[in-house]
Every structure is written in C-alpha cells, then in structure tokens.
Structure 1
Amino acid sequence: MLLTTIEPAQYVRTHIVPIVNEFRKLQQTDGRVQANFEKADEWLDKLLPSVRHVYEILLMPEMAEAFEADIAEWRQNGLDSVPYFDHTLKCFIPPVPQAFSFIIAPLVATNGPAPKGHFLECFLVLREEPMELEGVSAMLPHPKNGCQSCRLITGSKGIMMGNCIVFFPENIKAKEKVESQSFAMFFFNKFQLIYLTETFPRVMQLFGTGWVSDALSTESVYRARSVWGYLHDYYHHNGPRPFDTNLQVKLNFFVGILEEIKVDCQSVVAACELNVPFGREIAEYILFERMLRYPNQPDAKTNFDAGTGLFLFEWLIQNGSCFEIPEQGLRLSLEQCVEDIKRLISEVEEIERIEDDEQFKVEAKRYVRRYLPEGIGKEKFAIPDRYARYIGHAFGEPKLLDFSQLPY
C-alpha cells in the first residue's frame, strides 16, 4: 500500500501529538512522572492503541511491540521511576529513502525548548535523499554511512518548537550505554527558517554584504543542507580516531570540541575546493552557524555547541589571517579562512594520533583551554575576550521558533 504524506501525518497530528504534549507536562527532566499519576496512566492508555495503529500503517509492527514492552516495564517499576526505552532503541531501524518513519520515546530534543531533558516526544519524518548526494558520495565514498536526510512532517513540542534538528541513538533514555551510532536522522527542512531568522541577520550586521547563502529556494536549502550533512558525517568517520569507533572518548567535552571543529573545517575545505554542489553556500552555512548562532544561546557558557563556535573564532582571530578589523567592524575573507583552517585541521589530527585515551583527553583539554578559558562554578567556559569585543552578545535572546507550518 502506497502512503501519502497526509494519511499518517493527520493521524499522528490528531491522535498522538496532543496526548504526548499533555503527558510531557507531567514529567521531570529525567523522564519521571512527578504528579497526576492517574492522568498519566490515562494518557498512556490512549496512546497505546494509537501508536500501534501508526506503526501498522507504516509497516513497523515490531516497533509497536517494543513501545508496549517499554511502557509495561515503566508501569511495573512505577511512573515515578526513570523510564528506559531499550526495547524501542534496539528495535528501531531508520527508514529507507522515500519511506516514512515514526518514533515515540523519552528523548532529549537537542537544542529544543527549555528545559532540556528526557521528555516523551514523538515525530513523523519522510526520508528524502537529494540527487546531489549521488555525486558527492561517489567522490567521497562513506565507509559506513549512517546519516539520513529527512523532512520533518509533524511531532511533539520538543521537536516542533525550537532548533532540534537531529535524532541520534543516544538521545533516547536507555539503560544500555550506546557504544556506536547506527543512525543519525536529520530534520533538514527546519534549517532554512533557523538560518534566515537567527544567523544571517547577524552575518549582515557583522560582516556586511556580499554573501550568497540567503538566496537559495526552500527546496534548494534542503538539498544543500543534506550535502553538508553528508560531508559532516563522512569526516566524522575518517581520520586517526573515527567518531563511531571512539564514541565514548569523543563524548568527553574537550575531545568533542576538537572533533566538531575538525569535521566542520574539513567540510568547509571540501565545499570550497572539491566539486561539491552548493559549495559556497555550504561553506557560509558552516562558518556562520558555528561562530555566530551557536554562541548566542542563552545558556552559552554551558552549551557544547556554543563552545565550539567560540573556540573556532578565537583560534582564527589569534592564528589566522582571514579577519580584518577596520574601525567599522570585522570583515571576513572566506578564501583566506579556508587556508587558515587547514592548519587547524592538522593540529587537531596530530592530537588525535595519541593512542592512550587518557593522555588524549589531557592534551585535548590543554589545547582547547588555550582558546576557551575556564568558567565559574558550573560554567564549562567563559566568553573569550576577543569574542566579547568583536562579536559580543548584542543580538538578544533567540526566539523560540515554531516549525508547525514547514513550507517543505
């Protein structure tokens, strides 16, 4: 049976999303139900048959069984206990191209609305891999591509409100520690609204005109963002310490900073120097998102992504030649930036060649701390002086974006 977008979307939007949104109001950040246990039980009773129906429509009946098993164990332990959805995580298989997929579980919506935690969330996606990826993957064959480009169709509050754009295995609350990433589902149709609302106005304010990344059509932005996603994941799986086989050590804060920056920089170089579709736009996306949007989060001093952006800016302004600082403000040369970051890539990979995990973490921390100073108390870092001087936090707190009416 061939499905249209309307059929599963209407059902999820009508029968599941409203209940999930009500249920998550009863939860603490660790997923426990903190009040109104009878109401929580009532919501779960209503969810069970609706979730099964969706999974049967999507030809995923085993996921319905996994969801029911996880709910049964949670109820047996008491809804005031932390929910673990190991059955759901073990059972989930990402969709093939042009297929729908649905997930419901207590999961962290990374960069979603506050507060951050393992709230019950759900989402329906359609996997859509743009044709441009065929040429890119032929040029840069991925050793084990686990990245899925998806269009978000509908979902609960944590997914539809705020900037959560990715779903990893480790986002689900589970007892078993995730040792490797078997999938990475990206909601790339959320990107254009984020970029044009939050990022590009800062580009114009700080660096002036002459950029091209605001001019693509909605569909082309999705395609370009998907190519960026492929490049990013490709470089995660290459180098002295591939991410998928070094997951636990790379979850270390300082190691993670270097991992993300290295991969971003490698993607920028590829976008500018290889025959990559939307290359100039992708390079601008990467650099501007990393340096201008991520550090502007209200929780910047404890936010990992903010730390990566601050680190990159500090490294470039201290070691590179891509910034000019005339009286009217900063100017950035993308061409010179590409040359600068090649050196940064080499320095990070030299640290990655350290074989001992503990020594690797020590050296990563020492290197990061040269550009990202220590914070106070629970802060992971302080805002570096140069960033505060030249970029600052004059943009105001980011708006909580609503993705319920995505144009693509």
Structure 2
Amino acid sequence: MTGTLGTHRLQDELLGEAERLAQGLLPRVDAFRTRQRDDGTIAEPGEEDRASLRAIRDEAVRWFAGHGRTGQADALAADVDGWLAAGLDTPPHFARSRDALTAPADGDWAAFLAPVQTTNSVPPVGRRLEFFLVRRKEPDALPELAVRYPHPKNNCQATVLLAGSEGLTRGNCIVFFPENVAAHDKVAEQAYAIFFFSKFRRIHETYAVPSARAVLTPESVPRASIGMHPEACYQARSLWGYLHDYFHHQGRWPLDQHIKLKMNWFIGVLEELKVDARTVLACHDETVPYAHEQIAMILLERMFRYPLDARAVRNFDAGTGVFLYSWLRERRALADHGSRLSLSYDGVIDGLRELVETIEAMEAAVTTPEAYRAAARELVRTHLREGAEGDRYACTADQSRLVRAQGRLASLPPLRFAPAEL
C-alpha cells in the first residue's frame, strides 16, 4: 500500500484496508475510548483497561510496521508504554506519535492513532483514543490557483476519510491538527493540518442550509453550494481551505510567525473572520474556480452552522459567526423582512470589505502583542457583549435569531460517514 501504485489500484487497496480495520482495530479503539474521560484519563483503571490498551498497541504497531511506517510504529509503542507506566489515570502524552506523523503527498495515504480532541464531533468530545486512515486528494485547480496565490509554506492536506474511530466517523469533526493530540508540551509549529473534506457536503446540507432557510427569506438564501455533486463540492471546499490558509500567512501578523499569539480568543475570532472575508473577496473580484460556491459555503457555514453549537457562547467558531452576523446587520446587509431577514449580496461584499479594512488597520496600528490583544478584545466587544462567568460572550435577542433551527437540527441523529464517499 504505497503512493507509487496507480491511483485506482491504491484506492482499491485502501478500501480493502478500511474494511479490515473495521473488523479488527477500530472496534477495539471505540471500546477503549468509551472508558476515557475528557482529558484522556481513565478513572480507576483496572487490568482489563491495561490489557485492552496493550492489545490495541500490539495490533496497531503491527499494522503501521507492516505498511512501512516503522517510525510511527516505534513512536506509538513508546507512547503507550509510557502511559501504562505512568498509569492510565494520568493524562496521556503522545508527543512522539504526534511528531512521527508526516503529511502524505498528494494521492498518498496517512494513518494515525493517539488520544485526540475531535473538535465538533458527537459528545463526549475530549482527548480520547482515535484512529484515522485518509487519502490525500488535492483539488484539480490547485496548481493553477497556487500560481496566483502562492502559499509561502502550505502545510494543509485535503483528504478523503477512508476509515476512522467514532470520534471521526460520527459527527462534524473535519479537522486534525498536531495541537489536537494529547501531550504535555505545546506545538510550536504546525507540521501538518489534515482536513477531512469528504465529510463536508453532508454536514453542509444537513445543518447549514436548513439553518439559513429558517432565518433568511427564501429568495435571499445563497444557493450556489446547495445540491452540488459530491465531487464538485469536495473540489470547491478544498479550494476554500487552501485560500483560507493562504490568507492566514499574509499581512502584518502572519499566522506562521505568531501562532501562539493567534490562539488568543479575541485575536483568533478576528483572524478567522479576516481570512474568510478575504477569501470571499478573492472569489468575488478575481477569476477563481467554484467562486460562487465558495462564497455560499463560507456565508452559510460561518453564520448559520457554527452558532448552532450547544455551547456556542464558549465556542470559538460560533463566536465568529455571531460577530459577522451583527457586523452585517449593522450595515443592513441583513435587513428585516417580516419575520425573516433578507440578505443582500452586494451589501455582504461591501460589509466584508469594510471588515477586512477595519481588522487590518487595527493590526497595522499595534506594535506589541499586548497592544494587539487589547485592541482585538475592544473590536470584538463591539458586537459580542460580555457573557456570564466562563462564557466568552452573551447573545442578544437579535443574535438569537441565528439558532431558530437549533432544536430541530439537534434532534437529528449524528451523521455517520462510511469509508470512501468519494
């Protein structure tokens, strides 16, 4: 199972591996993760827990080594043995596994096993043991797009999720970053950023689109991303991912040089809004493949899906959507129309231009991290008011419009993703 095989032959081999994993390793991982708490520990671990982890270790090490990934096999064995020695009631430390993973080349595959935070997955969400097998599949238009938007250090991988544990195959988690791995140390630089974009279409159609339809007038709901062919949707979403990350690395305070600073909650809210706004403007102003589809995806996801989170007032992405909503409301890009709101495309474009200009002017005016954090907080607070203790913000009555469909959508069964949907 190597990337040197022909595309179709490799795909067939990967599908075979996905089926074998579903019969062997994955049920063991899923059973073990149910014993873990949010921080990865097991309360009052017994010999059955230790035996279960040793069995997972042995099977996974054989699997990685058997497929030529000896570095990952050795790292996994060391991490598991270290955790067993420390006690399963202590937080796991899988830095060796985290650092042994390398980004696959386009068309090749990658796999990983460690306690991982699966953001936006089905509860319980925490640093539980997870496994994934993916095939990297970059969009066809990327080489041409990268000429016009040359990424200084692209470390993002668009992938198809072929097999995974329940934290990844159930629910809405579509990202895996090294900082998601349970470890005692912090990541200084991202060596990879894996996106499970094969999951996106069903998430978008199931949650973002109905949520927008509950808030907006029928004629003003962005439609370009609705009902897309799975392959076209994957291509468009992957291009959005590239442009989003490209813009992270531009400007006065680029992400790669200030990654710890960008993790500040207020700076992060503005950073995400800025790069998505710049992506929309690039799609509007330039000739970009799937331009209208990307714009619709960004608006629907950012404003109408992210705020649906059950703990939205503590959720970073939800905060970006609520802020953007109020920013556009203030500029009448979202205007009252009976019991619903009417979205003006031209108004949105104008509002996003102003948003980018405002954020970039603030970034240009500050010269120290302390000043940056203070200025970002002040700007965010213009539309996200102080919340209760422990909350990042509190929603106003108007902002609560965004969750009209929350109850209905929350009652839906979690999405399940079968191997190789593309």
Tell me, yes or no, whether TM beats 0.5.
Answer: yes
State yes or no: 1:52 paired with 2:52: no
Match of 1:242 in 2: 254
Q: Give the one of 379, 396, 402 matched to 2:416.
A: 402
Q: 2: CA distance between counterparts of 1:135 and 1:10?
A: 36
Q: Count residues in correspondence.
A: 406
Match of 2:108 in 1: 99
Amino acid at match of 1:7: G
State yes or no: 1:302 paired with 2:314: yes
* Aligned alpha-carbon RMSD (Å): 1.5
Using the TM superposition, give the Cα deviation of residue 79 of structure 1 relative to its aligned residue in structure 2, in angstroms. Answer: 1.3
Amino acid at match of 1:25: T
**Alignment of structure 1 residues 61-72 onto 2, 5 Å:** 61-72=70-81
Q: Give the one of 21, 25, 43 matched to 1:12.
A: 21
Q: Give the one of 272, 275, 280 matched to 1:260.
A: 272
Match of 2:229 in 1: 217
Q: 1: CA distance between counterparts of 2:404 and 2:340?
A: 15
Percent identity between matched residues is 35
Q: 1: CA distance between counterparts of 2:219 and 2:170?
A: 30
State yes or no: 1:352 paired with 2:363: yes
Query: Do the aligned partners of 1:371 and 1:384 also contact (CA within 8 Å) in 2?
Result: no
**Alignment of structure 1 residues 165-204 onto 2, 5 Å:** 165-204=174-213
State yes or no: 1:326 paired with 2:337: yes
State yes or no: 1:386 paired with 2:386: no
**Is the deviation greater in 336-345 or in 251-260?**
336-345
**Alignment of structure 1 residues 311-322 onto 2, 5 Å:** 311-318=323-330, 320-322=331-333
CA deviations over 1:252-280 (Å, ceiling 9, x no partner) = 11111001110110111111221111100
Match of 1:120 in 2: 129
Query: Do the aligned partners of 1:111 and 1:162 also contact (CA within 8 Å) in 2?
Result: yes
Using the TM superposition, give the Cα deviation of residue 37 of structure 1 relative to its aligned residue in structure 2, in angstroms. Answer: 2.2
Using the TM superposition, give the Cα deviation of residue 214 of structure 1 relative to its aligned residue in structure 2, in angstroms. Answer: 0.7
Query: Do the aligned partners of 1:58 and 1:101 also contact (CA within 8 Å) in 2?
Result: no
Amino acid at match of 2:362: I
Using the TM superposition, give the Cα deviation of residue 147 of structure 1 relative to its aligned residue in structure 2, in angstroms. Answer: 0.7
CA deviations over 1:152-193 (Å, ceiling 9, x no partner) = 011111111111000011000112211222211000010000
SS of the residue 2:161 aligns to: strand
Match of 2:300 in 1: 288
Using the TM superposition, give the Cα deviation of residue 145 of structure 1 relative to its aligned residue in structure 2, in angstroms. Answer: 0.4
Gaps of 5+ in 2: none
Using the TM superposition, give the Cα deviation of residue 391 of structure 1 relative to its aligned residue in structure 2, in angstroms. Answer: 3.3
SS of the residue 2:120 aligns to: coil
Amino acid at match of 1:242: P
Using the TM superposition, give the Cα deviation of residue 357 of structure 1 relative to its aligned residue in structure 2, in angstroms. Answer: 0.6
Query: Do the aligned partners of 2:45 and 2:88 also contact (CA within 8 Å) in 1?
Result: no
Match of 1:341 in 2: 352
Amino acid at match of 2:152: P
**Is the deviation greater in 374-383 or in 200-209?**
200-209
Instruction: Give the TM-score normalised by structure 2.
Output: 0.93
SS of the residue 1:79 aligns to: coil
Instruction: Give the TM-score normalised by structure 1.
Output: 0.96
Amino acid at match of 1:122: F
Using the TM superposition, give the Cα deviation of residue 135 of structure 1 relative to its aligned residue in structure 2, in angstroms. Answer: 1.5
Match of 1:133 in 2: 142
Using the TM superposition, give the Cα deviation of residue 405 of structure 1 relative to its aligned residue in structure 2, in angstroms. Answer: 5.7
Q: 2: CA distance between counterparts of 1:199 and 1:247?
A: 29
Q: 2: CA distance between counterparts of 1:298 and 1:393?
A: 13
CA deviations over 1:38-91 (Å, ceiling 9, x no partner) = 121121222123212321343211100000000111111111111101111121
Change (3 A) 1:282 1:57: farther
CA deviations over 1:284-327 (Å, ceiling 9, x no partner) = 10011010111111111111111110001111111x24223222
**Is the deviation greater in 9-18 or in 272-281?**
9-18
SS of the residue 2:209 aligns to: helix
Q: Give the one of 363, 371, 377 matched to 2:389.
A: 377
Q: Give the one of 227, 233, 245 matched to 2:239.
A: 227
SS of the residue 1:198 aligns to: helix
Match of 1:251 in 2: 263
Using the TM superposition, give the Cα deviation of residue 36 of structure 1 relative to its aligned residue in structure 2, in angstroms. Answer: 4.3
Q: 1: CA distance between counterparts of 2:420 and 2:212?
A: 24
Amino acid at match of 1:305: D
Amino acid at match of 2:278: Q
SS of the residue 1:235 aligns to: helix
Amino acid at match of 1:402: R
Using the TM superposition, give the Cα deviation of residue 393 of structure 1 relative to its aligned residue in structure 2, in angstroms. Answer: 3.2
Amino acid at match of 1:254: F
SS of the residue 1:186 aligns to: strand
Q: Give the one of 152, 166, 178 matched to 1:157.
A: 166
